[in-house]
Each structure stands twice: as C-alpha cells, then as structure tokens.
Amino acid sequence: MSEITLPPDEQDRPQEDNQPRRALVRQLALQAAAVFLVLSLAWPFYFLRAAEWHWATVSAVTGAVAFLAARLSRQPWWWQLIHLLFVPLLWVGLQFNISPLWYLGAFMLLLLVFRGAATGQIPLYLSGANAAGRLRPLLTEGSALLDVGAGIASLLLPLAKMRPDLKLAGIDNAPLPWLVGWLRTRSTGIGWFWGDFWKHSLAPYQAVYCFLSPAPMRALWAKACREMPPGSLFISNAFPVDDATEDAEILEDPETGLMLYVYKIGGEAAANA
C-alpha cells in the first residue's frame, strides 16, 4: 500500500482551533450553574429550619437540574447523562471513603479513551467492515482517504484488505485508541497520525471519512471545501452537514441501520460552505 506525504500543517482558523475549548467550558459552566442554583436554594431552607443537610437529596436534585439544563440547551445525549450522574455519583463515592487516587485514576482512564468527548463533543464511535464495504465502490483507483477520528483503525484495516490499491490514513487524538490503532497498523502501510484534525491538512486526500457527532460537522465541511481538490468526496457516517443534506447522496443499509452521507467537493453545497 502506498504511503501519503503530507504538506506542512496549515494555520487553523480561530473558530476551529478554539471549538474544543469552548465546548468544554460550556459544559463546566452548565454544571457549575446547577450546583450554584441548588446550593443557593438549599442553604436558606436548611438554615432557617436549623436542620442537618441531607446531602443525598441535594446531590440528586443537583443532578436533575444539571440534566434539565443540558436537555433544554440541546446538549448531546452523552453530556446529558454525564450532568445527570456526576454529582450523585460523587456523593455515593464519598460515602465509601474511597481514596482520591482511585478518582484520579478513573478520570485519567476516561480521558485516555474519551478525550474527544470531553474536549470537542466527539465521542468514541467505531466503524467497521460494514462501513468499509459501503466505501469500497465509492473510491477511485489509487485514491487517498483520511479517516478523521480513526479510533482503533476499525474502518481502515478492513478497507485496506478490500482495496489494497488505496492510500489510507487515519488521525485521532484520544491517547488509548490511537495507541491501539498504531499497534494494529504499524506493519500495514496505513498512515497513522496523532493530533488535532483541525490542524491536519486535507489537501492530499481525494476522500475524507468521519464518524464524529453533529457538533463539528459544519466546521469540518467548511474545512474540507477550503482544502480538498474539486471532485473529492466528504463522507460522514450517521451525521449530516446542516444546510447541505439535500445535496448529499445518502447510502443506507436497512439491515444494520448504517447511513452514509456522501458530499462532493465543488458542488452547490460546497459553494455555499
């Protein structure tokens, strides 16, 4: 399999570079607001009655308020779940006098696996042979494809077996999935990159594939339209580009529920990106 030579990384636009930071700050602010609101209401209730604080109730109400705020602000479902459970689980953990090192270890493990969800609202979704089979006839002979958010190379490895003529590459910034992917691809000729895909040039590729979340799709589509050559393909698994869905070719597998949105760079949707 041929390898891909990349040009130097280009400077990113500010909205792309700051997007992960803004997303994380938004979630922290939402959780902090829920804690502040519940404590502000609970303090006079318990103080005026000279009653002992019932922390189980306070933590449960805090989780419910954070969940409601996340729901009303239309946060992704995984963030809604995190807001619902974070404070109640923290209280439960404190009842068992668990060493803080266990919390730190659990946090570090989650960060190693799900860094994308914490920093960019991009959870770990894994593609597989079914998606690779759908991609197989779309790609021209010898074309280069980049898997954005490649995880453990679960798409690239089966695609490499189906289409050995392709120049395949993947990029991810979650440490543990990236390491697993590196170990699986190091003897295959698949390009395997660590880092922020916003800073990774898309110019060398004739196709870009992603299975991310709704959050980055519009900005990633705009990046693809700026950098990829006309006629290239931008392919999203499950998540369409807002305001451009009608210009996509939609490939659906009724048996598995797989749905690919295929956009062509240089079309009407690209001109409006």
**The pLDDT of residue 249:** 92
**The pLDDT of residue 111:** 75
Cβ–Cβ under 8 Å, residues 151 and 177: yes
**C-alpha–C-alpha distance, residues 1 and 170, integer Å:** 14
Q: How confident is the model at residue 14 (pLDDT cuts 50, 70, 90)?
A: very low
The CATH class given to the 123-271 domain equals alpha beta
The 10s digit of each residue's pLDDT in 110-133 is 778 877 665 666 788 899 999 999
Mean pLDDT across the chain, nearest whole number? 86
Mean pLDDT of 16-35: 75
The residue written with tokens 């290239």 in the block is 232
Closest CA to 83 of 22, 18, 38: 38
Cβ–Cβ under 8 Å, residues 61 and 25: no
**The pLDDT of residue 267:** 65
The 10s digit of each residue's pLDDT in 80-112 is 988 999 999 888 888 888 777 877 788 788 778
Question: What residues contact 199, with CB distance under 8 A and at least 6 apart?
Answer: 9, 10, 12, 17
CA distances to 204, 210, 227, 246, 259 from 263, rounded to whole Å, are 17, 12, 14, 10, 13
**The pLDDT of residue 242:** 87
The 10s digit of each residue's pLDDT in 142-177 is 999 999 999 999 999 999 999 999 999 999 999 999
pTM for this structure?
0.73
Percent of the residues in the chain that have a pLDDT greater than 90, as a whole number: 58
138, 144, 145, 151 alpha-carbon torsion, rounded to 10° = 140
The phi, psi pair for 111, rounded to 5°, reads -65, -40
Cβ–Cβ under 8 Å, residues 211 and 170: no
DSSP conformation letters of 131-146: HHHHHGGGSPTT-EEE
Cβ–Cβ under 8 Å, residues 172 and 178: yes
* Residue ranges of domains in the chain: 16-120, 123-271
Residue 270 tokens read as 């690209």
CA distances to 136, 167, 189 from 161, rounded to whole Å, are 10, 12, 12
**C-alpha–C-alpha distance, residues 270 and 224, integer Å:** 9
Mean pLDDT of 50-56: 86
Task: Report CA Rg, the chain.
Answer: 22
pLDDT reading at 13 higher than 50: no
The phi, psi pair for 214, rounded to 5°, reads -65, -25
